[in-house]
Structure 1
Amino acid sequence: MIKGLYTGAAGMLAAQTQSEIIADNVANIRTPGYKREESSNKAFPEMLMMRTSTQNEIPGNTLIGGIGTGVVVDQVTRMNVQGVLQTTDIPTDLAIIAEEAFLVVDTPNGERYTRNGQLQLNSEGILQTADGYPVLGEEGPIGPLSKDFQVDAQGGITDQGVTIDRLRLVQVPAEGLLREGQSLYASNQPVQEFAGNEVVLQGTLEGSNVNLPSQMVKMITVMRAYEANQKVIQTHDATLEKAVNEIGRIV
């Protein structure tokens, strides 16, 4: 009977984690380049119920069967589907149209990777993220640039007819991505320089790939699962209370 409490509690914890992931997706629906995350569950190993043999039986245990012990969130997967492209005609807006490519930025914690192309020029004309981290080219931080700089499809940057640099684009293994905040990623695996063509669109932003109706449907499903597991716990609690207060009562 106590196992039922564990099963219900495990289901509630898994549903809570799933609801937090969905809420985070919805909160970032307007974050350029954001990729939604999805979770998958796995069952805890079943507990085998054994019956101990009597003296008249062959020595050993007899298998009665298995009992489930609930679920746990197995992994959280980043969905790399391309977001909708939105034309802005703002020179500092850059859309990365190759799903596996990332911009490289310089942060106090070292190089990080992003697909959020909503960039800006600081007071010195250096290209940086909205959080103030310099975007790196092949030669390092990019700039100084004027407001009329141009970026071609391969990431080459020119300003007033002069070649300045080329955006540094890398390919990060999906299984090595470690999310840091809303738009930045680190990697626990080696990254490679991205060698593809037709990668960048200037004056365009890639929107998030979060589908709001789909996330709302998932949230409803998760909340129903949470409530069902909650009722399991309440039922077991009531049964235990009855066993303690009534069955064990001395008549």
Structure 2
Amino acid sequence: MLRGFYTAAAGMLSQQRRQEMLTNNLANANTPGFKADQGSLRAFPEMLITSMNTQTLPVKKQYQLRGMNTVGPINTGVYMQEALPKFKQGDIQETGNQTDLALINGNLPVNPDTNRPGAIFFQVLDANGETRYTRNGNFTVDGEGYLTTTDGYYVTDTFGDPLMIYGADFTVTADGRFFEDGEDTGQQIQIAYAEDPGQLVKEGNGLFRLDGANQELPSALDNPEITYQVKQKFIERSNVNIEQTMSEMMMAYRTFEANQKVVQAYDKSMEKAVNEIGRIS
């Protein structure tokens, strides 16, 4: 009976964590470049149940043999193993802001190990000067003339240096080159390529980092198989599907509620076992 308690409680915990993940997705439905998380539920290892018994042989001295009979496997519950972001392209929205840039996927090679396409990102430097990656192209220009995120992280050029805007009248071409007053400034925004996006870790504020110390993604410019487009005065919206997310939240709630009722039923059974079955009349 105690095993049933643990199994139902594990189901409640997994659905609670899934609900928290879905709530975060819904809260960021209007965050530019946000990538929705998807959770994967896994079952704990199964156990093989056997019963021990004795068998009396039909002989004169009635020998007894001990034996074990296989009853069958039993599941010990589920847990949410991980929450991985979906790197599907979000819708493109026109803003009219000169500093807004949308990164539009073109041809991205399929990873033979995962059978999924890679992903491309803007490269930025965080407050500690470490390299991070983002799809949020809602940029601005700081007081020193550098192109930054709304949190003040520097957007980098192909050399890994902060990208500076020298004048108010600038345009960005489809390959990310900057022109001011019709002249090429010699700067090009860095686009990083992740062959396996599953190795990226979310850090908040729309930032990702590569899982591993002092590692950086290669540039997409060095790969002739990759095509993309940078679109000025546009941003990429979140790829959260609001209707689907709300349906999944309701399903997670119903599953949590079902496991909760199982726990209550076990609790009543144990109450009877303690208060009634053991009573001596």
Q: Which residue of 1 aligns with 2:249?
A: 219
CA distance in 2, matches of 1:58, 1:150: 88
Query: Residues 69, 197 of structure 1: CA spacing in aligned structure 2 closer, same or farther, 3 A cutoff?
Result: closer
Give unpaired runs (5+ residues) of structure 2: 57-63, 107-118
2:95 aligned with 1:88? yes
Q: What corresponds to 1:232 in structure 2?
A: 262
Q: Name the % identity.
A: 39
SS at match of 1:137: coil
Residue identity opposite 2:207 in structure 1:
L
CA distances 1:204-230 after superposition (whole Å, capped 9, x unpaired): 011001111111111100000000000
1:61 to 57, 68, 74: 68
Q: Which residue of 2 aligns with 1:150?
A: 171
Q: Which amino acid aligns with 1:78?
A: P
Shift of 1:42: 1.3
1:186 corresponds in structure 2 to 209
Q: Deviations over 1:142-175 (max 9, x none)?
A: 1143221111111111222242410111112212
1:130 pairs with one of 143, 147, 150: 150
Match of 1:247?
Answer: 277
Which of 1 and 2 has greater Rg? 2
**Following TM superposition, by how much is the alpha carbon of 1:60 offset from its aligned partner in structure 2, in angstroms?**
4.9
**TM-score, scaled to structure 1:** 0.95
**Match of residue 41 from structure 2:** 41
Shift of 1:197: 3.7
CA offset digits 1:165-198 (Å, max 9, x no partner): 1011111221211000130000126522113344
Mapped contact 1:114–1:184 kept (Cα < 8 A): yes
- Aligned residue for 2:24? 24
User: What SS is found at the alignment partner of 1:170?
Assistant: strand
In 2, Cα distance between equivalents of 1:60 and 1:152: 78
Structure 1 CA distance for aligned equivalents of residues 228 and 90 of structure 2: 17
Instruction: Find the partner of 2:126 among 76, 91, 107.
Output: 107
Shift of 1:124: 1.3
TM-score by length of 2: 0.85
Name the CA shift for 1:165/1:35 in 2 (closer, same or farther; >3 Å).
same
Distance 1:230 1:118 in 2: 43
Pairwise CA RMSD of aligned residues? 1.6
Residue of structure 1 equivalent to 2:110? none
Q: Report the 3-state secondary structure (helix = DSSP H, G, I; strand = E; otherwise coil) of the residue aligned with 1:74.
A: strand
Any conservation in 2 of the 1:102–1:115 contact (CA below 8 Å)? yes
Task: Tell me which amino acid in the other structure corresponds to 2:123.
Answer: V
Does the Cα contact within 8 Å between 1:143 and 1:164 map onto a contact in 2?
no
2: CA distance, partners of 1:197 / 1:148 = 27
What is the rounded CA distance, in whole Å, between the counterparts of 2:145 and 2:167 in structure 1? 7
Size of the aligned set, in residue pairs, is 251
Cα distance between partner residues in 1 of 2:207 and 2:132: 6
Which deviates more, 170-179 or 193-202? 193-202
Q: Name 2:109's counterpart in structure 1.
A: none
